[in-house]
Structure 1
Amino acid sequence: MNNRRKMIYGGVAVMLSAATLTGGCSNGPAEKSDQIGTTQTVETAQISQNSIAKSLQLQAKQLKTSDPKQPLDDLKPLKDMIGKANYVGLGEATHGSSEIFMMKHRLVKYLVTELGFTNFGIEEDWGNGLKLNEYIQTGKGDPREFLKLLYPTDEIVAMVEWMREYNSDPANKKKIQFIGLDLKMLDQSVFDKVINYVKEHHPDLLPEVEQSYKELSSVAGNLQEYMKLTTEVKEKHMANAQKVVKLLEDKTKLNNETDSHELAWVKETAKVIENFTKMVIPADYPSMVKLHDQYLAEHAVWAQEKLGGKTMIWGHNIHIAKGVITEKMYPKVAGEFLKERVGSQYVAIGSTTTEGKFTAFISLSENKIAADTIQKNENSSNHMLGQVHYDQFLLDLRKLNGAAQQWVKEKQPFFDGGAQIIPNVPQYDDDVSLQEQFDILVHIQKTTPSHIK
């Protein structure tokens, strides 16, 4: 019996081993013994699968729809599942699944309207987050233009427009704040956020701030090009970014200024610029991506501490998970940093699917997209979740019992839809324990490509 089968069938591995051993010890001919052992193994495995599927079926909470325009009453079980947590990770199996985006929109609406979550952090660059936050506060601009890569979809734009409607209602006193948590690039608007504040409130600092940002702002808009800079130049940019952070901190302390809402955003924007410069100092990939996810987590914590309210973190399953799903790509992730920082105050909700298609890049450099097909893997957790007879459902992985309780602990293949289509490369990460990575799952049986323009 191979290790993969042990991982998939978990606690039944002993029975499978026993069945194989019994066949091997038969007094009959070797050929017959092998046949008996194989038949017994298959039958036992099938029994195991059936018992796990039935256990999952009994404990899953059916969701009526993924349509965010429909009532949210089927999401009520989330209230007890999330409890008093101040941070909730909202994962996605791909960056291009229509039904997953719509379901996450429903989750956001429920978290905002029923549980008091008002900070929305997303795997989008800080500068785009500033523009999207201005849009949901004032209606200025076109949200589709501020969403990049695979996010300018009809589904996500509809969610941003709902946020704008929510904020424009005077009855909603606590407004949603939109935060771009990511650091893939810094456009000029990020630097202008700091410069314009200094120009208005502390003009004596303006020459030094502008000089510190002059060269940095001209190269920070393209991460790949920035990484080609010499270490000496990158360290100079980091020192200049740190100088601005200190200038702001010292000046506001000297004037006994409390952090107004505007000043909190400006200070954190200066810190984000510093974080960008620090992130690309390491020469090795693992160190850089660890810093990347560390800063994603730190920006989320800032939102909760400085803006008040509770914080949602929207991103790929890999980033919001409580541990490492694929060590080669992400040796430590934002969800793990959050878990270390805030403990049980962080609840990770992963999203899974069994079949369908999703939007991904054919060529990132040429901005060409297409629909990729979800590969089948009958040994995967996604396949087993597909045996539940609901189109979509919630599953609290911490409170399962019976066969499902053991199954979610087992390490097994897990679907991980990438942002780029790479032919002949498996879409599944091996050795993923659902319970180690997530607290709650939202499973949607069949998904279709997101609608991107």
Structure 2
Amino acid sequence: MLAPRVPRHSAALSAAVLAVTLASGCAGAQASQSAQANPMTTWIGDNAKRLKRTDASGSVADLASLRPIVKDAKVVALGEPSHGTHEQLTVRHRAIRYLVEELGFRTVAWEESWGSGVAIDRYVVTGKGDAREVVSQMGFQWRSEAMLGLVRWMREFNRDRADDDKVRFLGADVMEVRAIPFEEVRRYVKDVAPGRLKELDRDLRPIRYRGTLEAHFGWYFKQSPKQQRELVRHARAVKKLVDGLPAGMSRIDLDDAVQHATTILGFYESYAEQIAEVPEPVRDQYIADLIEGWQRRTGHRIVYNAANVHTTAAPRVTWQFPPDPSALRNKVMAGGHLRKRYGRSYISIGTVSHRGKILGGWELGPPSVFTVPPPGRAMIDHILGTAKHPNYLLDLRAKAPAQVRKWLAAPATMRIIGSAYDAKKDADYMMRIDSMGGGFDAILHLGRTTPTRLLNEG
């Protein structure tokens, strides 16, 4: 998700996309006769590969069309238009299964903090601990039965496999912190450079973890901008100290210690930054660095899961989340960094939901269920919803007539929903990219979604 307090925004609707969608005469998933004649609708219908099921179990043979899309990519991103739905996670679980079981991917990266990712990774690799417990310590929106199912599947896949063939979990974000990075940075310094422990503590103590995610956020957001800058200074000093340490006798790996210190700094820098004023948000630079560094470290093919706004390969993204009145414009996000670094070895698959219900509102307290209507005609989601099958995978690089190629090359406005949601302002929940085909290699389309099923629901 775009984590708590990340600014939101709005953008002018693309005239090219608006003209195409208005011309289609479509009406939601029930395409009219005129929509059937629309070249975009016809092309989608001819090329969309129907998903036979949206739950995580059963055969994944209907996802075989992922193979020519993915080819030999090192990193494949699976985006989503909102956090808080059951099917968006279970369908990605199915796609992950295909990528792992059939194409040899061995890391599942997630829009989740590095620290809680370490706890999940250690569980799925060793089996020590409890799956429900590690999932319950994730970010608010992931504490769900569907996420628990994915973690349990990863553990079962790893059972009795050689260590170098096990699937790993990577928390590929810095917008939340957990106790593990603080504890293990200190343990590493104590083990390999005990004479520098007091020096470490002078900077680690002011930025220490406040016991729970909620408590830490509450404490941090009470700090003034000046105090936040001072916390960043302490975090930089911790990272500098750890970066300068040699490998030594410790149960903590040096690479982990360095990454712990890096993500602590990433948290404080990300929230101290005035995102509206920078072209390249520091958070997404950290995300790209985490993924690239892990890929070098392990040699794994990685499937990266996050919101569409992070995963799109578009070089620049504009997005808005009401009630914030202004848009964040032309930002370089994680997927843009990864496409620049990996070229066509980075594949971005966006997800679009036509209608349904979502669970959201974590920023305001206990989450609530919101009803999301079909997308307006100005959204590219509208035309994607005219296909005869509600659930499908579409390769945007498939052979297409000139009018469709023009449509794919035109600026595209898509729906993206943050934690808060107001159906009356649905058209304002949007992200805009310079072209659909340039931002995504393929689309997963879901006709209807149901709310996330939280762990405490039984």
TM-score, shorter chain, exceeding 0.5? yes
Alignment correspondent of 2:265: 274
Q: Hey, what's the Cα distance between the residues in 2 that align with 1:444 and 1:438?
A: 16
Match of 1:27 in 2: none
Which residue number corresponds to residue 352 of structure 2?
352
Q: Give yes or no for contact 1:360–1:372 (8 Å, CA) kept in 2.
A: no
Answer whether contact 1:86 1:310 (CA < 8 A) is retained.
Answer: yes
CA distance in 2, matches of 1:9, 1:259: 62
Q: Bigger shift: 341-350 or 377-386?
A: 377-386
- Which amino acid in the other structure matches residue 56 of structure 1? I
Structure 2: 5+ residue runs without aligned partners?
1-12, 26-32, 321-326
CA distance in 1, matches of 2:250, 2:198: 23
Residues in 2 aligned to 1:233 and 1:121: alpha-carbon distance in whole angstroms: 32
How far residue 423 of structure 1 moved from its aligned partner, in angstroms, is 4.9
2:53 is matched with: 65
* Residue 63 of structure 2 corresponds to residue 75 of structure 1: yes
Question: Residue 390 of structure 2 aligns with which residue?
Answer: 391
C-alpha separation in 2, matches of 1:369 and 1:162: 28
The answer to whether the 8 Å contact 1:11/1:406 transfers is no
Residue 449 of structure 2 aligns with which residue?
Answer: 447
Deviations 1:106-154 (A, max 9, x none): 1111111222222222111222112212221233131331222211111
| Structure 1 residue identity aligned to 2:358 | F
Task: Please list, as runs of the form range in 1=range in 2, the aligned pairs for 1:145-156 lying within 5 A after superposition.
Answer: 145-156=136-147
Residues 297-306 or 420-429, more deviating? 420-429
Q: In 2 relative to 1, CA 204–49 (structure 1 residues): closer, same or farther, beyond 3 Å? A: farther
Query: For the Cα contact (< 8 Å) 2:412–2:432, is it kept in 1?
Result: yes
Matched-pair contact (CA < 8 Å) for 1:9–1:48: no
Number of equivalences? 419
Aligned counterpart, 1:239: 233
Q: Aligned letter for 2:104?
A: G
> How many angstroms apart in 1 are the aligned matches of 2:175 and 2:15?
39
Q: In structure 2, do the counterparts of structure 1 residues 390 and 47 end up closer, same or farther at CA, with 3 Å as the change threshold?
A: closer
Bigger CA radius of gyration:
1
Instruction: Provide structure 1 residue ranges, at least 5 long, that are not aligned to the other structure.
Output: 17-44
Match of 2:313, SS state, is coil
Match of 2:5 in 1: none
CA distance in 2, matches of 1:349, 1:119: 17
Counterpart CA distance in 1 for 2:55 and 2:360 is: 22
Query: Is it true that 1:378 corresponds to 2:377 in the alignment?
Result: yes
1:7 aligns with 2:13: no
**Distance in 2 (alpha carbons) for counterparts of 1:82 and 1:72:** 15
* Cα contact 1:155–1:451 (8 A) shared by 2: yes
Give the 3-state SS of the residue equivalent to 1:424 in structure 2.
Answer: helix
Secondary structure of 2:96's counterpart equals helix
For structure 1, which segment, 133-142 or 170-179, has the greater mean C-alpha deviation from structure 2 after superposition?
Answer: 170-179
> Are residues 342 and 223 of structure 1, via their aligned partners in 2, closer, same or farther at CA, if it must alter by over 3 Å?
farther
Query: Equivalent of 2:186, from 189, 195, 198?
Result: 195
Whether 1:181 aligns to 2:172 is: yes
Q: What CA distance in whole angstroms lies between the structure 2 residues aligned with 1:288 and 1:123?
A: 21
Tell me by how many angstroms 1:216 deviates.
0.9
Residue 288 of structure 1: CA displacement?
Answer: 9.5
C-alpha contact 1:143 1:160 (8 A) present in aligned 2 = no
Q: Is the 8 A contact 1:280 1:288 kept in 2?
A: no
Percent identical pairs in the alignment equals 24
Task: Determine the C-alpha separation between the residues in 1 that align with 2:422 and 2:225.
Answer: 32
Query: RCO (CA 8 Å, sep 6+): is it higher in 1 or 2?
Result: 2
RMSD: 3.2
Structure 1 residue 301: Cα displacement:
1.1
Query: Residues 288-437 of structure 1: matches in 2 within 5 Å?
Result: 290-323=281-314, 324-326=317-319, 328-329=327-328, 331-361=331-361, 364-402=363-401, 403-427=403-427, 428-429=429-430, 432=433, 433-437=435-439
Counterpart of 2:313, as a letter, is: K
Deviation at 1:48, TM superposition (A): 8.2
Question: 1:79 and 1:172, CA in 2 relative to 1: closer, same or farther beyond 3 A?
Answer: farther
SS at match of 2:425: coil
- Higher alpha-carbon deviation: 349-358 or 199-208: 199-208
TM-score by structure 2 length? 0.82
The normalised TM-score by structure 1 is 0.83
Q: Which one of the candidate residues 69, 80, 102 is aligned to 1:92?
A: 80
Task: Quote the offset at 1:285 in angstroms.
Answer: 4.0
Return the offset for 1:391: 3.3
Secondary structure of 1:222 counterpart:
helix
- Comparing 58-67 with 375-384, greater Cα deviation is found at 375-384
CA distance in 1, matches of 2:290, 2:199: 26
